[in-house]
Structure 1
């Protein structure tokens, strides 16, 4: 069901446009009578990573989601009316109309993030029959990304680094997406632009080339350099070469987004703009989406490593994106195998993922958890810390962790991860407070080095 209405902008949207802006409100049916949006979102570190934005004041999730073409995104807010009815409200901003294809695309992404399906509901009910404490707290849905690619990249970001850096890398990737998608880069502030490559699409047998474009700067009345923002529109499924349109913006010119809609009517000394870390100027509340495979496949590895502080991960991420774009990795095949929901399909998927450069055991286990397999527990230093503090296993090591995990959580099969993560998340909230009420500025402190021994008892 879709309704279209024009409403005053939210406080955080002031400055995004003049006057009122259009909003299309979609209704997403909820079958599980116990469904709670806050609990479905705030249960894993993935919800803290950009471009996700949980608002404690309104108990709503805000982030960009892609339309059916996958080349365009709109800002979306997901909320749950009170008292909880049989649906969620999905508000899509900066538009007054959505095609049926775009509606389906957005709702499908929301369902994936919140694990809203008959199969997920069944698994949660089954888990609650063997874990009374989780049932009492309404724990069982583990938040994930709207796409498998975003999950994969974020699982790479979780590996071998501290939590604050993971958050900063995710934020930098979203900022990069905003630059690649919406902004022309000035040579003065951005001397090293991404080196773009050509690749051949097997499906269409055409060459898709993204060309670099640089606009000159023009000083405004305050002698501040105003950078020209260039927006391009391309369809990744088109047989035509991708195009980029550029324009030079003066004091009375308009800036247009990639759909050709004016977002600043007059650019002058008083125009509200913010400067990204790269030096690019954009609107104060403009938010980049998480980059798609098509957007990352053409970015130079060294540039990506430097711009987003990814280090060696940049090679893995670009390689993954290129393999997807060139159809060496087929997501449809991975999802098809996953739909079997059997241990055999887990082993088959694990084997498929092991062939991807940079996907070690920890990364693969996290990705497969995101895909709905809960019988394997991703093990890292946080796991060892938890076993030592929570279960008083003093001599726990990387070599003994798997044996310890099996002994402790084996009775919760096939939901060992859910039982383990229930303990972990409960400990986090005992120390840091309710995640649903935590301001985003505090996300970086939610890490094991700030944990003290918890007195919570294991009730699995």
Structure 2
């Protein structure tokens, strides 16, 4: 049987890799394959002239969550993709520099079929939002334009986006990291678990294995609704939906509340809703010299102030807000996110940032 293990146990002595350069959870076979990337599939994805891979990947907290892995030393992105018959390919993504045509370079851990290459390209285009045009947002926010800010990392699938969003609710960031690590390690066998894999476990098993607490019921119900066909997530990804149409559809999913629904809106390229939570309050109060709200009435007043503050950036209020928040994080560590070291990735708690 292929034993699941930490990459440090397999490649730490390899001349091409250190333990910080490869995914958190891979199999022994995959570890051996990672050491011979140059002998596997190799292809390119064209990108806009202003595209920056480090900025696009390290723009949103999902890049820290398994099975995503960013290497700040080599500025490379790595993650697995699962195909038919539980076949998994690990991809390594870099940006080609000094070329006349801007492009991303993709290497795979095993030879890939033409259909698998098409799937990987489509997944990466979704993750990096390569089909989106941020010209209008940049005209409203010149500083974001100068920093090539706007392409916020998301997952290869809406299902993974929903589960990751659920793991960010009512919990500290280190625990969010732990939950995703365990979901990948214990359920997904090295990749993010599929609906079928999550639908096959019980609520008590998921609580025990992945430390997700009350979220287990929500996660399993979502997975089973997808497996039995009662929920079709592709309908939510339709470009014809307005935010006012999309938001109630997201709220109708069991376990998705106002914060999660608003966050999923931006993950579906609807940027006119801000998912307000305690971190939003912390950041806004800190930078506008306001007292933190303590009552429902004062919370509602603050929420209105936050929405009003970002109204000039409509319909990109979330992007403007996230630019401010992410800049705060980078200022806190005095370096851009793509240079953050592994030991710094769980530093974003209110006690550290106040």
Equivalent of 2:318 in 417, 438, 457: 417
1:340 aligned residue: 240
SS in 2 for 1:327: coil
Alignment of 1:57-206 (within 5 A): 57-67=73-83, 69=84, 71-83=86-98, 85-93=101-109, 95-96=110-111, 98-117=112-131, 120-121=132-133, 124-179=134-189
Report if aligned partners of 2:282, 2:292 keep a CA contact under 8 Å in 1: no
What is the CA-CA distance between 1:70 and the residue it aligns to?
7.7
Normalised by the size of structure 2, how large is the TM-score?
0.87
Equivalent of 2:46 in 2, 16, 29: 29
What is the CA-CA distance between 1:355 and the residue it aligns to?
1.7
1:254 aligned residue: none
Report if aligned partners of 2:128, 2:152 keep a CA contact under 8 Å in 1: yes
Report whether the alignment pairs 1:377 with 2:274.
yes
Aligned-partner Cα distance in 2 for 1:377–1:428: 18
User: Which string of whole-angstrom CA distances, capped at 9 and with x for unpartnered residues, describes residues 331-363 of structure 1?
Assistant: 221122xx125xxx2222222222211100001
2:264 aligned residue: 367
User: Which string of whole-angstrom CA distances, capped at 9 and with x for unpartnered residues, describes residues 112-131 of structure 1?
Assistant: 111011xx12xx11101011
What is the CA-CA distance between 1:138 and the residue it aligns to?
1.3
Report if aligned partners of 1:379, 1:401 keep a CA contact under 8 Å in 2: no
2:286 aligned residue: 389
Report if aligned partners of 1:114, 1:144 keep a CA contact under 8 Å in 2: yes
Cα distance, 1:404–1:27 mapped onto 2, change above 3 Å: same
Aligned-partner Cα distance in 1 for 2:300–2:288: 17
User: Which string of whole-angstrom CA distances, capped at 9 and with x for unpartnered residues, describes residues 222-246 of structure 1?
Assistant: xxxxxxxxxxxxxxxxxxxxxxxxx
What is the CA-CA distance between 1:438 and the residue it aligns to?
1.1
2:229 aligned residue: 327
Normalised by the size of structure 1, how large is the TM-score?
0.67
Cα distance, 1:17–1:423 mapped onto 2, change above 3 Å: closer
Aligned residues between the structures: 324
1:310 aligned residue: 212
Cα distance, 1:108–1:380 mapped onto 2, change above 3 Å: same
Alignment of 1:205-224 (within 5 A): none
Report whether the alignment pairs 1:295 with 2:312.
no
1:357 aligned residue: 254
2:6 aligned residue: none
Report if aligned partners of 1:66, 1:105 keep a CA contact under 8 Å in 2: no
Report if aligned partners of 2:198, 2:223 keep a CA contact under 8 Å in 1: yes
SS in 2 for 1:63: strand
Equivalent of 2:54 in 27, 33, 38: 38
Deviates more, 1:156-165 or 1:443-452: 443-452
Report whether the alignment pairs 1:398 with 2:290.
no
Cα distance, 1:411–1:17 mapped onto 2, change above 3 Å: closer
Report if aligned partners of 2:274, 2:317 keep a CA contact under 8 Å in 1: yes
2:340 aligned residue: 438
Cα distance, 1:132–1:17 mapped onto 2, change above 3 Å: closer
Aligned-partner Cα distance in 2 for 1:427–1:308: 31
1:200 aligned residue: none
RMSD of aligned residue pairs (Cα, Å): 2.0
Report if aligned partners of 1:65, 1:109 keep a CA contact under 8 Å in 2: no
Report if aligned partners of 1:114, 1:141 keep a CA contact under 8 Å in 2: yes
Aligned-partner Cα distance in 1 for 2:240–2:88: 31
Report if aligned partners of 1:66, 1:106 keep a CA contact under 8 Å in 2: no
Larger Rg: 1
Aligned-partner Cα distance in 2 for 1:17–1:306: 31
Aligned-partner Cα distance in 1 for 2:152–2:93: 16
Task: Name the one with the larger helix percent.
Answer: 2
Aligned-partner Cα distance in 1 for 2:90–2:264: 26
Cα distance, 1:70–1:334 mapped onto 2, change above 3 Å: farther
What is the CA-CA distance between 1:105 and the residue it aligns to?
0.6
Equivalent of 2:17 in 11, 23, 32: 11
Report if aligned partners of 2:45, 2:103 keep a CA contact under 8 Å in 1: yes
SS in 1 for 2:77: strand
User: Which string of whole-angstrom CA distances, capped at 9 and with x for unpartnered residues, describes residues 52-83 of structure 1?
Assistant: 1001111111010133x384321111100123
- Gapped regions of structure 2 (runs ≥ 5): 1-13, 23-27
- Gapped regions of structure 1 (runs ≥ 5): 1-7, 180-287, 453-460
